[in-house]
Amino acid sequence: MAGGKLSARQKMINLMYLVFIAMMAMNMSKEVLSAFGLMEAKFADSNELTSERNEALLADLEKKSDEKPEEFMIPAAKAKQVSAASEKFFNYLETLKVDLLKKGDYKIDPETGKLPFEAMDKTDILDEAWFTGDRLTKKGQEVMSKIEEYKSSIRDILGKDVKASKVLSNFEKTFSTEKVENKDGKKIDWLDYHFQGFPAIASYTKLTAFQNDVEVTEANIINYYLGNVLTDAVSLDKYKAIILADKSAFFAGEKFQGRVVIGKYAKVPPTGLSIGGQAIDLDEAIDSTGAARLDFNVGGVGEHEIDGTFTFMEDGKPLEIPIKGNYVVVPRPNSATISADKMNVVYRGVVNPMTISFAGVPDNKVSASGAGLSKGSGMGKYTMVPTSGREVTINVTATLDDGSKVSDKAVFRIKDIPKPSGQIAGQIGTAKLPRNNVEIGKIEAVLEDFDFDLPLTVTGFKIKVEGKPSVTCSGNRLNGAAKTALRSAKRGSQVQIFDIKSRSNGPAIKPASPLIIELTN
């Protein structure tokens, strides 16, 4: 239809074609808009029905929770949390729909109760509200934030229950907000792909469909919790791992030998119990779980066997279950374990942490004494602060189950706090520093390789510059006279800092070893 000079008649024909095509496009557009409207109405009806079913399911679960709290209390509580989170997000989506209608000035027809589907063709309502260039507006960011908040709530409620993994997987798939590949093969943001550039009725329908996803998710999870309690009877969660050792005690150097089985503790009352051919009184031996408590003399040192029978009634006949086991009797403990947590000596004037225990005896039946020793907090924990002498003795007494006592002792050497080292700018002993660094530097005393945290504060020192008399300084920095002497020193000359005195919050400290500094300028 293009090219060359056209006659008036040909121009008229071409114009008619354009009008015809435009009319077809308008009709198609109206049909599409109406189709979206019909879909929206169906989703809305579905949401209403699903909401009613969810309320009924939740009510049924709450009723079961009252009747059988042991089985249904936790599932009902979690279902209520899911319902609350879903309702909150559903209502937020409803505010987005209301806001869209308000900004487009769309009103429901009072006679038909329907929206003006064919008139809802604006594409700029959400475009302007949610998007700005390649980024989201604050409102768009809010929408994504609310979606993630809902997803996080459901994840937290479902937790890490292995049986909920399929439900959680379906949920993650339904509410995935990963980037989506468009028709051009380019990945774009989820919100952009689903809402930017669409007619108002399409976006409105998508929001209603999103609400439907929320309602269906709530229904799926509540049904999961209803089904979950029905399978508890066969769930492995109700079983316990029971360790069956080949014997009840092992000596040092031996390998542990035994079996691990999965089982339950039966609450079926037995009719008889005998150990070693001797009948046991069931009224005294059986506890609430159906377990039998054994109480007999263990005998001499060595390995012993347990042989007996458990008798139950089954189908009106006695059923005997054999009891087989063994145990080992070890000698009574007669020595204590006493160790210094830091080293083999204790230091004078500081808090030395120690651990004191007696093999096979609980902490509350062990007592320890010694000069400067006191009980700390924790199992077997003590502290010692020795003050005088060169040795300290710790005596330990343990009370055994039969009331008899056993004792032991250990001797520890007492050492003084080691001599600290002088330090400047992180360097100890000898250092190479610019004159200015020495002038403004801080003199410190540190305890090298000392395992205790004992901060030292320098109270004074002396400084000797080549060719100048020594200067005494108070505190930990050079005074005016020392700085004057230092400024006269030449490059490469040595400066000595000695007689470094310091104090601690505890014992007296020896003067620190001196510093020799070579001036680099």
pLDDT tens-place string over residues 455-497:
899 999 999 998 899 999 999 999 999 999 999 998 989 999 9
pLDDT single digits (tens) 306-325? 788 878 765 456 878 887 77
In a domain, 6, yes or no: no
- Asked if residue 22 has pLDDT above 60, the reply is no
**Sheet with 427-428, edge to edge strand ranges:** 427-428, 421-424, 443-446
* CA triple 402-405-410, angle to 5 deg: 145
Tokens of 130: 């949610």
Share of residues in the chain with pLDDT > 90 (%): 32
User: Distances in Å between the alpha carbon of 8 and those of 2, 4, 17, 70?
Assistant: 14, 13, 14, 90
What's the CA gap between 271 and 282, in Å, rounded? 8
Q: Which one-letter amino acid corresponds to residue 34?
A: S
- Asked if residue 232 has pLDDT above 50, the reply is no
- Asked if residue 173 has pLDDT above 50, the reply is yes
Q: Are residues 132 and 192 in the same domain?
A: yes
**CATH number for the domain that contains residue 383:** 2.60.40.10
In a domain, 73, yes or no: yes
Residue whose tokens read 């302007």:
128
Q: Are residues 152 and 28 in the same domain?
A: yes
The number of domains in the chain is 4
Tokens of 248: 């009840």
Q: Are residues 127 and 228 in the same domain?
A: yes
147 band by pLDDT with thresholds 50, 70 and 90: very high
Q: Are residues 290 and 221 in the same domain?
A: no
In a domain, 2, yes or no: no
Q: Are residues 501 and 488 in the same domain?
A: yes
Q: Are residues 73 and 137 in the same domain?
A: yes
Q: Are residues 477 and 340 in the same domain?
A: no
231 band by pLDDT with thresholds 50, 70 and 90: very low
Boundaries of domain holding 274: 239-329
pLDDT value of position 65: 84
Q: Which of 211, 234, 257 lies at the terminal end of a domain, its last residue?
A: 234
Report which of 472, 476, 478 is spatially closest to residue 439, judged by C-alpha positions: 478
Q: Nearest 5°: phi and psi at 172?
A: -60, -40
In a domain, 1, yes or no: no
Q: Which one-letter amino acid corresponds to residue 81?
A: Q
Q: Which of 314, 329, 344 lies at the terminal end of a domain, its last residue?
A: 329
In a domain, 488, yes or no: yes
Q: Are residues 88 and 187 in the same domain?
A: yes
Higher pLDDT pick, 90 / 295: 90
DSSP-assigned beta bridge partners for residue 338? 356
Mean pLDDT of 15-27: 47
Report which of 479, 447, 448, 444 is spatially closest to residue 463, judged by C-alpha positions: 479
CB 456 within 8 A of CB 504: yes
Q: Are residues 183 and 287 in the same domain?
A: no
Tokens of 207: 């929001």
Report which DSSP code applies to 478.
-
Q: Are residues 383 and 437 in the same domain?
A: no
In a domain, 7, yes or no: no
pLDDT single digits (tens) 36-64? 777 877 888 888 898 998 898 888 888 88
22-40: burial string, b at 16+ Cβ within 10 Å, e else: eeeeeeeeeebbeebbebb
In a domain, 81, yes or no: yes
pLDDT value of position 204: 87
Q: Are residues 487 and 472 in the same domain?
A: yes
Q: Are residues 52 and 188 in the same domain?
A: yes
In a domain, 133, yes or no: yes
What's the CA gap between 393 and 373, in Å, rounded? 10
pLDDT value of position 320: 82
Residue whose tokens read 């930017």:
196
pLDDT value of position 244: 64
395 band by pLDDT with thresholds 50, 70 and 90: very high
pLDDT single digits (tens) 235-253? 445 556 565 666 666 545 5
Beta strands 345-347 and 405-415 are parallel
pLDDT value of position 2: 47
Q: Which of 415, 434, 456 lies at the terminal end of a domain, its last residue?
A: 415
**Residues in CB range of 309: below 8 A, 6 or more apart:** 272, 273, 274, 320, 321, 322, 323
**Residues in CB range of 287: below 8 A, 6 or more apart:** 293
